[in-house]
Amino acid sequence: MALALAALLVLVAWSFTAGRFAVAPGDVARILWHALAGGDSGLGANVEAIVLQVRAPRVVAALCVGAALAAAGAAYQNLFKNPLVSPDILGVSAGCALGAGIALLMSLPIAAIHAFAFAGGLAAVALVVAVGTWIRGRDPILTLILTGVVVGSLFGAGIALVKYVADPYNQLPAITFWLLGSFTGALPRDLPFTLVPIALGVAAIWLLRWRIDLLALSEDEGRSLGLPVAGLRLAVIVAATLVTASAVALAGTIGWVGLLVPHAARLVTGAAFARVLPLSLLLGAAFMLAVDTVCRTAFPTELPPGVVTAFIGTPVFIALLALTFRRQS
Amino acid sequence: MLAAAALDFGFPRRTVGRGLDLELRAGEVACLLGPHGSGKTTLLRTLLGLLPPLGGTVHLDGRPLGEWGARERARRLAYVPQAAESYFDFTVAEMVAMGRSAHRGALASPSAADANAAAASLARLGIAHLAGQPIQRVSGGERQLALIARALATGARLLVMDEPTANLDFGNQSLVLEEIARLRASGVGVLLSTHHPEHALRIADRALLLREGRIIAAGAAAEVLTSEGLTALYGSPVAVAEVLLPGTPPRSIRIAAGLPRPS
C-alpha cells in the first residue's frame, strides 16, 4: 500500500516534468505551490501555462480515470461474482460511449454528455443483467462474458451509426479520436464534470466496501446473513456505472484497466474487498498515468492510451481465462 | 425455536410441498431425508425466509418469520450452504468474519467485538489454525467447518444446513458429523438435510422423511428411521440393523444399508 502510494507520487512528478517541453522538477513544485498559495513563481507565463493549463489537468484526468475504472471493475467483479468482468468486457463502456456519442452528435453541453453516458451505461448493465438472468447457462462465468460481448457489440453498432450520420468534417474526427481513448481533451473548466461524479461513485463504493464482500457469495448466503441483496446490487450498479460513465465521457473507451488492476491488487491483498478497493484505486491511478505519460512522450506522435492498455490487457486476459478454467476442471 | 405449521412451500407458479408441520428447538438435531426432487432444498429455503410460504405459517421464536427484520433474523437463524467453489479466494478468517455483518450497520467497519466473535467461532470448531489459509485450499471438510463457524459467528442458535456432508470424503463426513453433535451438546439446534440415512442414524434426535413434498413420517429418529420407513421413502429396499461393536463396554450402533430388489 505504502509502496503503491510512493510509486504514484514518483509517477506524478515524472509526468509533470516529462514531455515535449521538459520542466525541471523544482520548477514544477514552485509553480504548483504558487498556484495554490498565491503569488508569482517568477518562471514566466509560458512555463506556468504548460504546467497549470496543459499538464496539471491531464495528470488529474489520468489519475481519476484510472482510479475510477479500477474501482468500477473491482465492484463489478464482486457484483457479478465473476473475476473476469470489467466495465469494457460487460459492454458498459460501449453503452456509455453510445450515450456520450449521441450527445456529441446533438452538440449538447458537457453536463448532458455525462448524463447521456450514464444513461447509456445503465441501459447496458440492465441488458447484461436481464440477458444473463434469462439465459442462466451452465457456466455462469462464460455466459456473462459472452453476454457482455454481445451487448457491447450491439452498442458498438449504435456507435457506428452515430459516426455514420456525424458531420464528417467536425464531428466525425472528434468522435473518433475521443473513442480511441485519450486525455488530450482534458480541459480545466470541464474537469469538475468528471471529478464530481467519479468522487461520488467511488465514495459510495468505498462506504459499502464491507458489504460488497458479501456480494461475492451466493444470493441465498447473502440474504441469510441479513444482507439486502437486491438493494445493495442496485446501489453498486448505479455507483460503478456512474464512475464508468464519467471516465468514458472524459477519455473515451479505455479498456482493460478495470480488469487488470483489481486482479493485480488481489494478488497482493487477497479477496477481501475492503483491502482490494484502496489498492485498486492507487494502482489504477498509477497505471493510467504511467500509460498516458509513455503515450505522450515515448514516440514522435502521441499514441492513444487505449491502444497501449489493449496491448497489455489482451495477453493478460487470455492468461487469466486459461488459469480460471484450469482451476475449474 | 423454529416452527412451521400447515406449511405449503414452493414457487409462485409451482407448489413443491403441502401441509407440512415441523419444529426445531435449541439443543437438538433434526434430519430431513428424501430422494432427489422431494423438495428438501425448497423447504429449507422457505424455513430460512428466503422463499415466502405459499400457505400456512413459519414462526421464529414465536413471531412470524416475515415480521423479523433481515438482520434480526440473521442473528437468530443461520444458513450453512454446501461448500461451493468460489472464484474469490477469501481466507477462512475472512469467510467466518462475514457472519458478523448482521451485527453492523450497512456502512460500518468491523469492530474489535466482531473480530473477537469471529475468532471465538473459529476456535469453537477447532479450525483457528486455518484462519489465514485461503478457503479454496483447505480440505472440503474444513471448508464446511468454516461455513458452520460463519453461521455461529452470527450469534444464531438455530442452524439450517443443506447437505453438509455432500461432496466430502468419508473421513471429512465423519469430522463434520462429530462437530454437529458437539454443537448440539452446547445448545445449538440443527436442521440438516442429507442423502445418507446412516448419517441421520448417527446424529439425529428427530427425523423427517419427505417424499414428493409431503412428510411421510416424522418423529423420534429411532421410530422413523426404520427399514420400513426408509424403504417407503426411497422406493428401494433398505435394511436398518443394530450392530454390536466389540470392546469394553460393548457399544451398539444402528446402520442402514441398501438391499437388492426382490426378484
Q: What is the pLDDT of residues B171-191, one digit of tens each?
A: 999 999 999 999 999 999 999
Query: What does the pLDDT average to over A8-27?
Result: 89
Q: Tell me, yes or no, if B170 comes closer than 8 A to chain A by beta carbon.
A: no
In the prediction, which pLDDT does B84 show? 75
Residue A11: pLDDT band with limits 50, 70, 90: very high
Partner-chain contact B101 A211, CB within 8 Å: yes
Query: What does the pLDDT average to over B145-162?
Result: 96
In the prediction, which pLDDT does B210 show? 96
In the prediction, which pLDDT does B167 show? 85
Partner-chain contact A227 B101, CB within 8 Å: yes
Q: Tell me, yes or no, if B75 comes closer than 8 A to chain A by beta carbon.
A: yes
Partner-chain contact A210 B101, CB within 8 Å: yes
If phi > 0 it is left, if psi is from -120 to 50 it is alpha, else beta; for residue A225 that is alpha
Interface test with A, best of B44, B88, B133, B136 (most A CBs within 10 A): B88
Q: Tell me, yes or no, if B94 comes closer than 8 A to chain A by beta carbon.
A: yes
Average pLDDT, chain A: 91
Measured between CA atoms, the residue of chain A closest to residue B73 is: A226
Please give the share of chain B, as a percent, with pLDDT higher than 70: 100
Alpha helices of chain A — where are they, by DSSP H? 2-17, 25-37, 45-48, 56-79, 92-105, 110-135, 140-165, 171-180, 191-207, 209-215, 219-224, 229-251, 257-269, 273-297, 305-328
Q: Tell me, yes or no, if A141 comes closer than 8 A to chain B by beta carbon.
A: yes
Judge contact between B229 and B200, C-beta under 8 A: no
Judge contact between B226 and B256, C-beta under 8 A: no
- Alpha-carbon torsion (A281, A282, A283, A288), positive or negative: positive
B120, containing H or E segment = helix B112-124
* A18-77 pLDDT tens trace: 888 888 888 888 888 888 888 777 788 888 888 888 899 999 999 999 999 999 999 999
Q: What is the DSSP letter of B255?
A: E
* B100-141 pLDDT tens trace: 999 998 888 999 999 999 999 999 999 999 999 999 889 999
**Angstroms from B246 CA to nearest CA on chain A:** 44
Please give the Cα distance from A73 to A88 (Å, whole number): 9
Residues of A in contact with B85 (CB under 8 A): 328
In the prediction, which pLDDT does A328 show? 63
* A257-280 pLDDT tens trace: 999 999 999 989 999 999 999 999
What angle separates helix A2-17 from helix A25-37, to the nearest 10 degrees?
100
pLDDT over 80 (residue B263): no
If phi > 0 it is left, if psi is from -120 to 50 it is alpha, else beta; for residue B59 that is beta
Q: Of A287, A298, A323, nearest to A73 (Cα)?
A: A287
Residue A132: pLDDT band with limits 50, 70, 90: confident
Average pLDDT, chain B: 94
In the prediction, which pLDDT does A54 show? 87
Please give the share of chain A, as a percent, with pLDDT higher than 90: 62
In the prediction, which pLDDT does B62 show? 95
Residue A179: pLDDT band with limits 50, 70, 90: confident
3 state SS for B55-100: EEEEEECCEEHHHCCHHHHHCCEEEECCCCCCCCCCEHHHHHHHHH
- A187 — phi, psi (to 5°)? -100, 140
* B157-166 pLDDT tens trace: 999 999 999 9
Please give the Cα distance from B186 to B27 (Å, whole number): 7
pLDDT over 90 (residue B23): yes
Measured between CA atoms, the residue of chain A closest to residue B71 is: A226
**Angstroms from B19 CA to nearest CA on chain A:** 24
ipTM value for the complex: 0.92
Partner-chain contact B109 A82, CB within 8 Å: no
B218, containing H or E segment = strand B214-220
A111-120, A216-225, B83-92, B124-133: segment of lowest average pLDDT = B83-92
In the prediction, which pLDDT does A329 show? 61
Q: Tell me, yes or no, if B91 comes closer than 8 A to chain A by beta carbon.
A: yes
Measured between CA atoms, the residue of chain B closest to residue A83 is: B87
Residue A7: pLDDT band with limits 50, 70, 90: very high
Q: Tell me, yes or no, if B71 comes closer than 8 A to chain A by beta carbon.
A: yes
> If you count residue pairs, one on A and one on B, with CB atoms under 8 Å apart, how many are there?
85
Any idea of the CA torsion for B191, B197, B198, B201, to the nearest 10 degrees? Answer: 60
First to last CA, chain A: 34
* A226-250 pLDDT tens trace: 999 999 999 999 999 999 999 999 9
Q: Which residue has the cell 448417527?
A: B202
Alpha helices of A208-256 — where are they, by DSSP H? 209-215, 219-224, 229-251
Q: Pairing state of beta strands B29-33 and B206-211?
A: parallel
**Angstroms from A302 CA to nearest CA on chain B:** 38
Measured between CA atoms, the residue of chain A closest to residue B151 is: A225
Q: Which residues of B160-189 are buried (b: 16+ CB within 10 A; e: fewer)?
A: bbbbbbeebeeebbebbbebbeebbeeebb
Partner-chain contact A225 B98, CB within 8 Å: yes
* A80-96 pLDDT tens trace: 988 889 999 999 999 99
In the prediction, which pLDDT does B45 show? 96
Q: Of B181, B112, B97, nearest to B146 (Cα)?
A: B97
Cis peptide before B250 (omega within 30 of 0): no
Judge contact between A41 and A30, C-beta under 8 A: yes
Interface test with B, best of A81, A206, A210, A268 (most B CBs within 10 A): A210
Q: Tell me, yes or no, if A222 comes closer than 8 A to chain B by beta carbon.
A: no
Q: Which residue has the cell 468419508?
A: B170
In the prediction, which pLDDT does B51 show? 95
Grid cell at residue A266: 488481489
Query: What does the pLDDT average to over B221-245?
Result: 94
Q: What letter represents residue A261's amino acid? A: V
What angle separates helix A140-165 from helix A110-135, to the nearest 10 degrees?
140
